[in-house]
Chains A and B, each alone.
Chain A
Amino acid sequence: MPPTFTHEFNNASFKGKSFLETGVFIDGKFADGSDKTTIDVINPTTGKVLCEVAEATPKDVDLAVKAAQKAFDTVWGLKAPADRRGIVMNKLADLMEAHLDELAALEALDNGKPFSWAKMTDVNPAIGTIRYFAGWADKIQGKQIPSGEEKLAYTRHEPMGVVGQIIPWNFPLLMLTWKIGPALATGNTIVMKCSEFTPLTALFMCRLSVQAGFPPGVFNLLVGYGETVGAAISSHMDIQKVAFTGSTIVGRKITEAAAKSNLKSVTLELGGKSPNIIFDDCEMEQATNWATFGIFWNQGQVCCAGTRVFVHAKIYDEFLQKFTEKIKNLKVGDPFDNANYQGAQVSQQQYDVPSTVFYSEHFSIDSFCMLQRIMGYIQSGKSEGATCHIGGERHGTEGYFIQPTIFTDCKPDMKIVREEIFGPVGVVIKFDDDEDVIRQANDTTYGLASAIFSQDLNRAINTANRLHAGTVWINSINTADFRVPFGGYKQSGIGRESGEYALNNYTNIKAVHVNLGTKMI
């Protein structure tokens, strides 16, 4: 049996003892991985090992799929009354609420993000997401379609079956809920792979799922590597659908694997290089606050981060000066010190290991595989001739802390302008023409999000209509909401998460034609 991990928190933010089982979670039970191997979980603030968890391998994927299929065929899906699904999900949310601080503390410990952010922007919306989708469970409505007197036609929105879900390490718990919320509400059963970097809150949720009353096999969790478990899920013949959040490179591999195996349906929520357009009529103080949050929240490990800040020439100097002041005031350090805005990057790999070591032709070890890591990007910006306006160095001597970094004097073809860095690094670019900034904003292979700051709502709405992005924020940024759809244009993804739209990712539509009198001669 895998050991139980216990941790005593004793800091200003949270005091208390937490424990969680570290096994693979299949059919409602924790067990050792099939190959009896383990994965080290690292504390990103120290670089030291926190604990070991059971490593899942493709054999475990097979076991989990069998358990999920059995649950789907007997106790879940079309076999469970819809309101029952909602009741169990609400119960799960109640349990999460009862463990709110503990979940936030585990997230901060494992991911390196500040506890206060974890509580406010991870755990709270995670609870909201589960409650929101619990409410949908008994509202999955088909249509009755008039089709002449002699025919009754209606649609049923049925669950797909066993779905595979692969989630990242930047918002471990929140992304778990974004995935399981709509899948469970619509009656699917789940084989989930969480990131090997941040498995703690997901493992904790396994225990809560049992307490909430989910039948065994409805939710199965595996901690494993992308190239083994991720690949096995994507190519599995009995998984009907795979949903992935992570890098565009891996998203492409998953789509390929789905195409080569059973043509399972795929939804992807991938990377971005989102523009944040600051017009000359913006409210300056607010625009700088939001722009700061847009880049440095969650250490920049945000797929919709507003990392290309376009500032109108008329206000460029003033904006840059104010923005710089804000950034200088950001404190970086211990996630459990409430004064800190920014914690540690999640891993050594993200921090600085050259990508060639980890990026293989198959699956990346890390779902957010970038061709070049954060310190590498900073280096590239400097060597390509951009001005490192602020930051640009490691923070401290221990752990994966990086100074909030801004580049100016950038050219459109620089790597730091074109590629997703996924760290606390942004570029500020001057513009003087509305048409031109829209063109530049859209000049990217990504299309996840965008933001506009302007007091002229005519200008704002006009610009919003013309941006190629799945989300446009006007006078704010990075404020996703579980009631509102989220997803990408272009290479930022396929499908939409959150809101009613997310239900479409997890249902098959069956049209039933009932002949009431047409005779065949």
Chain B
Amino acid sequence: MAQPVKITIPSSGKEISVPTGLFINNEFVPSVDSQETLDAINPATEEVICRVVAASAKDIDVAVAAARKALETTWGKNVDGFERSRLINKLADLIERDQQELAEIETLNNGKPVKIARDFDIGDSVQCLRYYAGWADKITGQSLEVDNKAKIAFTRHDPIGVCGQIIPWNYPIQMWAWKVAPALACGCTIVMKPSELTPLTALKLSELVKEAGFPPGVLNTVPSLGPVGGAALSEHQNVDKVAFTGSTITGRKIMEAASKSNLKKACLHTIPVVISLELGGKSPHLIFESADLDQAANWAALGILYNTGQDCTAGSRVYVQDTIYDKFVALLVSKAKELVVGDGFDPKTTAGPVVSKAQYDRVYGYIESGKKEGAKVILGGEKRSGKGFFIDPTIFTDIRPNMKIVKEEIFGPVLSVGKFKTEEEAISLANDTTYGLGAGLQSSDANQCMRVSTALEAGTVWVNQYNVLNNNVPFGGKHQSGIGRELGSYALEEYTSVKAVHWNFGEKADWPLF
């Protein structure tokens, strides 16, 4: 095991070599103590693409040790920002060079259309890396005048250290870039655990990390199951920070593990683990009567159906003002019908299957529950026959606030549509959730846009848009949708620790004090 394997791209018959080992110290290696493997499955055919090595807790130790050594010798404070910038830019160039091949592997393992993987997921990832490459030599502290005659203070923004990063399967490459880019820019080293469902592109990207010239140990990749590798990272004594994107349930476990190891560490006077979490959502999308309805319907459709609804900001609760309700819903249904759900290698496909059998069953569980609880299906809701985890767009109306499909994150192309009379009612419906990741509103009334965007409780608010993110704009959640921010200059704070240096050059100490 740990040898590269050839995988075949169905559309072209092209063969691509994919590494299957753990990536530690710039080498692909087998597990030190385990024979466990993970099956990478094509969700469009349900066939196994290949098997990769599953990291054990011991392997996590080895990877963390490699990352620690790199931090102390070749990375972290041992390399200047200019060099970090150069390497990250180089990595971006290599990803751009290999974008087609990477997109094909992404489609094979995740299911999403090749064009979307290449032009959106990878295009955005390249830009994200370049954006943070630019920050690498601009991590500045402050100089603080305390007393011009006696004391100056300044701050240094040091790398936080070894970072465990745990990323999900919905945007395997893009979430990798979001996590890796700011961490590397700040000088951190990384132990990356990709999702056990979609490990292939993270391994392929590891090859490019080596080719770009990063020193061994700066980035290590350890595919593993959450309860094994994820747990080991979260409770590891020698990991300074854990960043996680995924479900709220798992996020809570990670925090628990971190705080438990914290207490242990506090006794030992070592560094506590810092956490950032980017979790789920049940994001509201409000459609007011003054909106451009055709555009609003486009954004609402994109909000719930992009990436087959497997999006933590998916606008899965659409609330429509009563005066335009019928007209808007008819428009939205016609837009949703235009989605072509199919094999990601078919150029006509605009949405792929959901990622796994478990996810497929879970989404249909919610659809059944919606029916049972009395919501009305106005589109979709029926299973297809044949292979592949395909789910057609499903829209419920006649919803009530306590229904499971309204309260819980489904992570599939399933939309609940509700109705409101007034702006106040819309805001109160929108904010009636334990989540707070995204929110959207469609309105042509500028004052209303400002009032509502201020009132919505969410880390991201889209006004007359939805689901479009930019690398220079922060992203993250309120409430149970997460801790910390990714993207923009804000993400740098997640990967630096601020050191204040007090420098006395004139004050004499009297002793005893009095």
Q: Which of A141, A152, A483 contacts B489 (CB 8 A)?
A: A141
Q: Is the CB of A138 within 8 A of B134?
A: yes
List residues 222-267 of chain B with CB under 8 A from any CB of chain A.
none
Q: Apart from A138-B471, A483-B81, what are 19 other A-B pairs with CB-CB below 8 Å? A: A83-B130, A128-B82, A132-B138, A135-B133, A135-B138, A136-B134, A136-B138, A138-B472, A139-B131, A139-B138, A139-B489, A149-B454, A152-B450, A457-B503, A458-B506, A462-B505, A500-B138, A514-B446, A514-B450
A interface, by DSSP: helix, strand, loop or mixed?
Answer: helix
Give the CA-CA distance A461 to B131 in the complex, in Å: 36
B interface, by DSSP: helix, strand, loop or mixed?
Answer: helix
- Rounded to whole Å, the gap between the CB of B272 and the closest CB of chain A is 31
Kindly state whether residue B376 has any CB partner on chain A within 8 Å: no
Interface residues on A, range: 20 to 34
B85 contacts across to A, CB distance below 8 A: 131, 135
Give the CA-CA distance A158 to B140 in the complex, in Å: 23
Proximity bits, A272-285, B CB within 8 Å = 1, else 0: 00000000000000
Give the CA-CA distance A128 to B149 in the complex, in Å: 36
Proximity bits, B128-153, A CB within 8 Å = 1, else 0: 00110111111010000000110010
Q: B-side interface residues toward A, CB under 8 Å? A: 81-82, 85-86, 89, 127, 130-131, 133-138, 140, 148-149, 152, 446-447, 450-451, 454, 471-472, 489, 503, 505-506
Give the CA-CA distance A458 to B82 in the complex, in Å: 31
Give the CA-CA distance A83 to B472 in the complex, in Å: 10
Q: Is the CB of A137 within 8 A of B506?
A: no
- Rounded to whole Å, the gap between the CB of A74 and the closest CB of chain B is 23
Proximity bits, A133-160, B CB within 8 Å = 1, else 0: 0111111010000000100100000000
A462 contacts across to B, CB distance below 8 A: 149, 505-506
Q: Is the CB of B450 within 8 A of A516?
A: yes
Q: Is the CB of A132 within 8 A of B82?
A: yes
Q: Is the CB of B446 within 8 A of A516?
A: yes
Kindly state whether residue A271 has any CB partner on chain B within 8 Å: no
- Rounded to whole Å, the gap between the CB of B473 and the closest CB of chain A is 10
- Rounded to whole Å, the gap between the CB of B21 and the closest CB of chain A is 32
Q: A-side interface residues toward B, CB under 8 Å? A: 82-83, 86-87, 90, 128, 131-132, 134-139, 141, 149, 152, 457-458, 461-462, 465, 483, 500, 514, 516-517
Known: A461-B152, A462-B506, A516-B446. A137 touches B451 (CB 8 A): no
Q: Which of B135, B454, B471 contacts A135 (CB 8 A)?
A: B135
A136 contacts across to B, CB distance below 8 A: 134, 138
In the complex, the chain A residue whose C-beta lies closest to that of B134 is A135
Give the CA-CA distance A314 to B85 in the complex, in Å: 47
Q: Is the CB of B489 within 8 A of A87?
A: no
Pairs across A and B, CB under 8 Å, 20 listed:
A83-B130, A83-B131, A86-B130, A131-B82, A131-B86, A132-B82, A132-B137, A132-B138, A135-B138, A136-B138, A138-B134, A141-B489, A149-B454, A457-B505, A458-B505, A461-B152, A462-B149, A462-B505, A516-B451, A517-B447
B136 contacts across to A, CB distance below 8 A: 135
B138 contacts across to A, CB distance below 8 A: 132, 135-136, 139, 483, 500
Q: Is the CB of A139 within 8 A of B472?
A: yes
Q: Which of B133, B140, B447, B506 contacts A500 (CB 8 A)?
A: B140
B152 contacts across to A, CB distance below 8 A: 461
Top 3 A-B residue pairs of the complex, sorted by shortest distance between their CB atoms:
A135-B134, A458-B505, A461-B505
In the complex, the chain A residue whose C-beta lies closest to that of B453 is A152
